[in-house]
Amino acid sequence: MSTLSTSSEHTTADLTPPERYINREMSLLEFNRRVLAQAKNPTIPLLERLKYLCISSSNMDEFVEVRLASLYELAEDPNALTTPDELPPKKVINRLLTATKEIVEDQYHTLNNILIPDLEKERIHFLRRNHWTEQHNEWITQYFSESLQPVLSAVGLDPSHPFPRVLNKSLNFIVSLEGKDAFGRSNGLAIVPVPRSLPRVIKLPPEATENENDFVFLSSILHANVSRLFPGMTVTGCYQFRVTRNTNLFIDEEEVDDLMSALRGELSGRQYGGSIRLEVADNCPKNMVDYLLDRFKLNEDALFQVNGPVNLHRLNAVPDMAERPDLLFPAFSPRKLNTKRKSKHPFKLFKRQAGSDTFFDKIRTQDILLHHPYDAFTPVIDFLQQAAIDPDVLAIRMTLYRTGENSKIIKALERAAQNGKEVTAVVELRARFDEDNNIIQAMRLQDAGVHVVYGVVGYKTHAKMILVVRREGSKIQRYTHLGTGNYHHITTRFYTDFGLLTANPEIGNDASKIFQQLTSLGDTKDLDVLLQSPFTLQSSMIAKIQREAKNARDGKPARIIAKMNGLEEETVIDALYEASQAGVQIDLIVRGICSLRPGVAGLSENITVTSIIGRFLEHHRVYYFLNSEGEPELFGSSADWMKRNLFARVETCFPILDPACFQQVYTEGLIIYLKDNTGAWLLQSDGSYLQKQDGAPAFSAQQTLIDKYS
C-alpha cells in the first residue's frame, strides 16, 4: 500500500482512488485479524478465546468462498477494476492471498502455541497419537469400528473409479497404498471422504481415560485406523485435505418465471462450485500435493499447508463438551418486557374485558425501544402473537430476511392467517447461506394461507419491518416495528441491534407504502419520514452530511456520529471527506469493512474510525447529525453505508422521534462506544488498526450495558 503524505498542503484532489480509499477486501481481512486477536487476549475467558479462533476460521472460509471467489470472477474481465479503489483484480488477489496466508498461519500458531498449552493448564487436553495409552487405544479402536468405519467409503483411484466429486469445505483424506486389492489392482492412491455428520472432535468417556476433559481429533482416529479400510494392503501415507469452492449463486432473475424453483436448482450445485483454495496437512509429500492441485485445477498460490485440523471452526463444539462454565463469559439473561396477557392458551382468541390493556395500548401510549441482546426479543414475538389472535387486527405485513428454524415468528404468522387475518410475508430467498431455510419457511407460510412474495427483481429486500393494521372504533390504526437486525431468534441473543415499536401515524403510513411497493406494481416513493433504499437513503445521507459541512463553514457547531457494520460507498466517503475539510468533527464506529482513510491531513484529519470487538457482534446502524439550525437528528437503519445497501437493496432508515428513545439510542448506541477502551480498535490511515489506549480507566461499552440491563 502506498505511503500517504500527511502534509497539510494535500487537498481532496491530490489523492487518486488507490490512495483515496482502502480496498474493501483488505479491510475485511483486517477485521478478521481483530477477531483473531481476541483468541490471544488473556483477559478473555479461555474457552471464549477458543470460540474466537473458530469464528475467525469461519470468517476466513466465507471470505474465500464469497469475496475472493468474486474477485476471480471479476478478473475474467481484462478491463475490470475493483471498487472503490480502482485496482486491477489480479493485483488485489495477489495481495489478498498473501494476507490470507498470514492470517491462517497465525490461526494455527494461536491454536498450537497459545490455546492448547493454556487449555492443558486447565486440564483440557487434545491427545496426540503418540500420547495415547493402552486404555485410550482400546476405546478408540472400538469407536472406529462401531461409529466410523460403517459410514466411511474409501474410493480407490483407477480408470473405473475416477477422482470423486469433493464437497465444498468437506474433510477428506488422500491415502497412498502398496500392495494389491481383492481384484489384483494396485493403483496406489485412494480418497476417504468424511461425512459432515461425524464430529471432528471426540470427548473420551470416563471408561477410556483418567481425565475429565480429554479430546481426540477425528483426523487422529482415522490416521491410526485407516489401514482397516484397506485390508490386505499397506498404507504408506494418509493426509487430510479440504477444498474451498466458489459459493456465489448466479440467477438471471429477469429470465426466470419462478425464482424459488430457479434458486433451488442453483443451490443443489453450490457445493461443487469452482475450486478457490486447497488446504492440506503440512506433512503431505509434494508429489501428492501437486496431484491434488492438478485435480482441482489450482496453482500453488491457492495452496495452504496447515499444522492441525483443516477446519478449525469445528472446534466450536469443545466449549460445550468441556462443561467448564468458569472458562466462559458469565451467564447473562436479557431484560424482559412484560407484554403478555395472563393466559394458559396464548394462541386462543381472547375477549377483551372492560378496562383491560393490550400491548397495542402500550405502544399507542408511547414508542417502545428494544436494545438487543440486552433486551429480550420476546416483545417482538409477543407483538406478532397478540396480533395473530386479536379480533380487531385486520392485516399483518412483514419482511423476512433471516428467521432460523422452528421460528415462533413463522408460527405466529401461520396462526394469524388461520385466524382469518390478511397476512403478507415478503421473504428474501437470496439471503446468503439461508436460502434453503427461507425456501422452507416460505412454503410453510404459503401452506398456511399467507400471501408470500419474494420482493423486487434485482433488489434484495433487506429492510426489517412489521406492520399491523388494527380497527379501533371507527378508525384504522397502524402499529409498526422497525429494526436494525434480523427477525432471527438465535442471532438476537448475540447481535447488538435496536428495534422500535411505534404507533406513529407517519411511520405507519410510510411502512404501508413500502409494503405496497414490494407486493404490487406502483410508484409510491413519496415517503414522509422514512428514508428508503434504493430511492432516498443515499441522497438524504449525503444531504445531511453536506448540511453539517455548510454549518461548519458558517462557523456553527457541526457534528456527525455514525455507527454501522460497513462503509465503502465512495460518494458517501467523499462527502465525509469534504465535511472533514470544512471542520466537522466526525466519529465513525464501523465494525468491519471501512474504505475511508481517517487522519489524513488536508483530507480527513477530523475523522476517527473505531471498531468494537466484544462478546456480542456489533450490528446496530445508527446515524446522528447535530443539525445546529434545528433539532438534532437520529436514525436507526437496516442499511450500512455500502454500495449494495444503498443501491441494490430495499432498506429502511427510520427517525428516532420520541425524546426518551432518542436519548437512549444516542447514549447506548453511540456515546458509550466512543468511550470504550477495552474492545476498541482505531483505524489508521494506512488501513491497519491499533488497539485504543487512552490511559483512562478501563471501560467496556458492552459490559456497561450488560450491567445496566441485568
In the annotation, is 462 catalytic?
Answer: yes
Domains 1-122 and 131-327 share a fold: no
Q: Specify the CATH class of 131-327 in words.
A: alpha beta
pLDDT of amino acid 479: 98
pLDDT of amino acid 350: 38
pLDDT of amino acid 251: 43
Q: With cut-offs at 50, 70 and 90, classify the pLDDT of residue 600.
A: very high
3-class secondary-structure state, position 54: helix
pLDDT of amino acid 433: 59
Cβ-proximal residues to 166 (8 Å cutoff; 6+ apart), any chain:
172, 191, 193, 243, 296
Catalytic residue (choose from 462, 488, 619, 620): 462
Strands 213-217 and 124-126: parallel
Burial 483-514 (b: 16+ CB within 10 A, else e): bbbbbbbebbeebbbbbbbbbbeebbbbbbbb
Amino acid at 592: G
CATH 3.30.870.10 holds for 532-709 = yes
Query: What's phi and psi for 700, nearest 5 deg?
Result: -115, 120
Instruction: Using alpha carbons, select from 275, 299, 286, 276 the residue that is nearest to residue 100.
Output: 276
Mean pLDDT of the chain: 90
pLDDT of amino acid 439: 78
Query: What's phi and psi for 459, nearest 5 deg?
Result: -135, 125
Is 331 a residue whose pLDDT tops 50? yes
pLDDT of amino acid 702: 98
Lowest mean pLDDT among 6-20, 371-385, 421-435, 644-658: 6-20
Three-point CA angle 707, 709, 710, nearest 5°: 65
Is 73 a residue whose pLDDT tops 70? yes
Q: What is the dihedral of CA 152, 158, 159, 160, to 10 degrees?
A: -30
CATH of 359-529, one of 1.10.3720.10, 1.10.287.110, 3.30.870.10, 3.40.50.720: 3.30.870.10
Is 152 a residue whose pLDDT tops 80? yes
Is 447 a residue whose pLDDT tops 60? yes
Is 12 a residue whose pLDDT tops 50? no
pLDDT of amino acid 490: 87
Strands 201-203 and 213-217: antiparallel
Q: Domain-by-domain residue ranges, the chain? A: 1-122, 131-327, 359-529, 532-709
Q: With cut-offs at 50, 70 and 90, classify the pLDDT of residue 5.
A: very low
3-class secondary-structure state, position 561: strand
Amino acid at 546: Q
Is 431 a residue whose pLDDT tops 80? no
Are residues 452 and 642 in contact, defined by beta-carbon separation less than 8 angstroms? no
Is 80 a residue whose pLDDT tops 80? yes
Tens-digit pLDDT profile for residues 195-231: 999 999 999 999 999 999 999 999 999 999 999 999 9
What's the rounded mean pLDDT across residues 584-589?
Answer: 98
pLDDT of amino acid 263: 43
Are residues 499 and 483 in contact, defined by beta-carbon separation less than 8 angstroms? yes
What's the rounded mean pLDDT across residues 107-112?
Answer: 98
Is 710 a residue whose pLDDT tops 90? no
CATH of 1-122, one of 2.40.30.60, 1.20.58.310, 3.90.230.10, 3.40.50.11310: 1.20.58.310
Alpha helix positions (H), 554-639: 570-582
3-class secondary-structure state, position 483: strand
